[in-house]
Amino acid sequence: MKETLLLTKHMRENPENSHLIDVYEKNNGYSAARKVFKENNPGDVIEEIKTSNIRGRGGAGFPTGVKWGFLAEDEERYLVINADESEPGTFKDRILLERDPHQLIEGIIVTSFASNISKAFIYIRGEYAKPARRVQDAVEQAYEKGYLGKNIFDSGKDLDVVVHLGAGAYICGEETALLNSLEGRRGEPRLKPPYFPAVKGLYNKPTLVNNVETISSVPWIINNSGKDYAKLGVEGSTGTRIFSLSGHVNNPGNFEIEMGCSFGEVIDNFGNGIKENKSVKAYIPGGASAPWFTGEQLDIKMTIDDVANAGSMLGSGAVVVMDEDTNLVLAAKSIVSFFAHESCGQCTPCREGTGWLYKILSNIVSGRGSTNDLEQLDRIASQIEGHCICALGDAAAMPVRSFLNNFWQEFEYYVDNKESMVK
Amino acid sequence: MYKQEPSGKYLLSVCKSISCEINNSREVIDNIKEFTGLANNETDIESTFTFEEVECIGACGGAPAVQVNYETVEGVTPPKALELCKYLKEEVPEVIVADDLQDKFGGIKSFDWAIEDNSGTSSTAPGFQIIGTSEEK
């Protein structure tokens, strides 16, 4: 089993200077941008993306071509790149920003051309100081070359790209909260409807919001074809995907693979197995928001639909592996503390619910819990689910219910004996 | 990231999210707390250190991870965390360079950083200096 390198090919072949515009161009860079301007048919570009069947890489997995397709008509339209990668376990956008920023910029140029957009924003989380510097440098290089700015590629079209830094809020990864933050408002998700920023987004104008990995895939699709892309992976989950593997594996890291192999294969092949040859007790298939799987479920296939059918989600593609000696009560507390900290406080069920989940789990960890508390956790989780404006509440509730369902025994042992099953 | 009080010269942010948590970040936190004598979100009297426990900083493959003024250092073992604090206190570097700290105190990385980088930060709010496109400059 091998990696299939589309997005990470350039950075692998030119490890020391893949971030420079000259090196990128020498390796066929900006050829997709030149191609679309030469052919000058935006409809074809959107068609090509639709054919590729690529689905958004941010977490929700919405088909990108469809999203581009219903961008409303208006004089002013915007493109926003969501680089607010904060899902625990995920570090795939970081490598794309740090080591191949021009691929992203080329993707932005092609996307803007296809949708007739003349202003794009890259919203990077504030903690990513180094990636932000790299992207800013790359944007400046592109301006100098005339690939951004006025009359780009002598096409008569203008495109400005603004790099914007967030201020450390997970919720600003939610697209409408991101738009609010970009407008200078508080980073709180907007009420729906309108359901899609493609209708009413930034400054109430039609806006495309796409993930870094999604837009970085665009140049490859244009250089080759949507059909070639759709041949990779499996139906419903086409193309490659960068999985972030972390936790108790021997060789953590980002691996670009075609979707469709099983989690167990990836952990053995790319992760080199579990540290000290232990066995897997639990793993998270798609970032902290995703319900946990047990060590017996390692043969689940890594596709958006297979994971969803098994009761979890592929989310951002972050696989966190926990070995047999992991104290799951502490791991659960870490997850819940994350959501309690990151809830924006707009909806009561999420603001109060995540807070109580954290307080109760802290109580259990310190040895003051009871079985009643475990039932209470489940009740609170069920009352958060589906009762909030955005998905953060659900993202906090779903993992709680999954680790209670799958590992009830371990939690019960902890409250009865006031210590963990594992030493 | 938003602070209601000024930070010390060095802002130490230790990740406590899931991948770091299961890779012993608690001991890193304990060691830094013990060395600096600070609790979460506190700054010392000399304004040298501010310590905070933070949620995921996108360095999960290199757990446990620490940021110094938002420059990421990966694979920081508990003893290395102590050395890092000692180094900052004694050498008082003006500019924090991630690659430099990674060489001295880091370990396993999320991915190969590959590109040599000597740029760094000299402030606890690196992202909030003026950045603009070359056209505007």
pLDDT digits (tens, 9 = 90+) for A198-232: 999 999 999 999 999 999 999 999 999 999 999 99
Question: What residue of A is the nearest CA neighbor of B20?
Answer: A247
Question: What residue of A is the nearest CA neighbor of B66?
Answer: A127
Q: Are A81 and A58 in contact (CB under 8 A)?
A: no
The predicted-structure confidence for B92-112, as pLDDT tens digits, reads as follows 999 999 999 999 999 999 999
Q: CA-based diameter of chain B, in Å?
A: 48
Read off the pTM.
0.95
Which secondary-structure segment (H or E) carries B10? strand B10-15
Model pLDDT, residue B136: 42
Q: Which amino acid would we find at residue B55?
A: E
ipTM of the complex: 0.93
Band the pLDDT of A240: cuts 50, 70, 90: very high
B60 with A246: Cβ contact below 8 A: yes
The predicted-structure confidence for A332-342, as pLDDT tens digits, reads as follows 999 999 999 99
- Partner residue facing B127 (CB), from A132, A148, A170: A132
Q: CA angle A347-A340-B21, nearest 5°?
A: 155
Q: CA angle A290-B20-A350, nearest 5°?
A: 40
Taking 50 as the threshold, does the pLDDT of residue B133 lie above it? no
Q: Within a 10 A sphere around the Cβ of A195, how many other Cβ atoms? A: 9
Taking 80 as the threshold, does the pLDDT of residue A181 lie above it? yes
Band the pLDDT of B137: cuts 50, 70, 90: very low
Model pLDDT, residue A401: 94
B21 with A330: Cβ contact below 8 A: yes
Question: How far apart are the CA of B136 and the nearest CA of chain A, in angstroms?
Answer: 10
Q: Residue A319: CA atoms inside 13 Å, Cβ hemisphere, count? A: 34
Average pLDDT over residues A224-243: 94
Question: What residue of B is the nearest CA neighbor of A320?
Answer: B19
Model pLDDT, residue B124: 85
The predicted-structure confidence for A14-51, as pLDDT tens digits, reads as follows 999 999 999 999 999 999 999 999 999 999 999 999 99
Cα distance between residue A353 and residue B123, in whole Å: 37
Full DSSP string of B46-77: TS-EEEEEES--S-GGG-S-EEETTEEE-S--
Q: For all residues of chain B together, what is the average pLDDT?
A: 90
Model pLDDT, residue A195: 86
Cα distance between residue A223 and residue A205, in whole Å: 30
Q: Are A155 and A147 in contact (CB under 8 A)?
A: no
Q: CA angle B42-B47-B48, nearest 5°?
A: 95
The predicted-structure confidence for A268-290, as pLDDT tens digits, reads as follows 999 999 999 999 999 999 999 99
Tell how far CA A191 is from the center of its chain.
Answer: 22
Q: CA angle A84-A401-A287, nearest 5°?
A: 25
**Which residues of chain B are within 8 Å of residue A94 when distances are taken between CB atoms?**
58-59, 110
Taking 80 as the threshold, does the pLDDT of residue B129 lie above it? no
B19 with A331: Cβ contact below 8 A: no
| SS3 state of residue A245 | strand
| SS3 state of residue A186 | coil
Question: What residue of A is the nearest CA neighbor of B55?
Answer: A338
A288 with B117: Cβ contact below 8 A: no
A18 with B131: Cβ contact below 8 A: no
Taking 70 as the threshold, does the pLDDT of residue A127 lie above it? yes
The predicted-structure confidence for B46-82, as pLDDT tens digits, reads as follows 999 999 999 999 999 999 999 999 999 999 999 999 9
Model pLDDT, residue B128: 58
Band the pLDDT of A423: cuts 50, 70, 90: confident
The predicted-structure confidence for A358-409, as pLDDT tens digits, reads as follows 999 999 999 999 999 999 999 999 999 999 999 999 999 999 999 999 999 9
Better pLDDT: A298 or B135: A298
Q: Are A334 and A266 in contact (CB under 8 A)?
A: no
Q: Which of B131, B27, B20 is nearest to B73 (CA)?
A: B20
Band the pLDDT of B3: cuts 50, 70, 90: confident
Q: Are A82 and A58 in contact (CB under 8 A)?
A: yes
Proportion of chain A above pLDDT 70, given as a percent = 100
Which secondary-structure segment (H or E) carries A330? helix A328-342
**Which residues of chain B are within 8 Å of residue A244 when distances are taken between CB atoms?**
60-61, 110
- Tell me how far CA of residue A415 lies from CA of A129, A354, A365, A366, A406, in angstroms: 42, 20, 8, 9, 16
Cα distance between residue A318 and residue B122, in whole Å: 32
Model pLDDT, residue B119: 85
The predicted-structure confidence for A313-359, as pLDDT tens digits, reads as follows 999 999 999 999 999 999 999 999 999 999 999 999 999 999 999 99
Band the pLDDT of B5: cuts 50, 70, 90: confident
Band the pLDDT of A190: cuts 50, 70, 90: very high
Q: Which of A403, A395, A378 is nearest to A292 (CA)?
A: A403
Full DSSP string of A100-138: -HHHHHHHHHHHHHHHT--EEEEEE-TT-HHHHHHHHHH
Strand ranges inside A41-97, DSSP E = 78-83
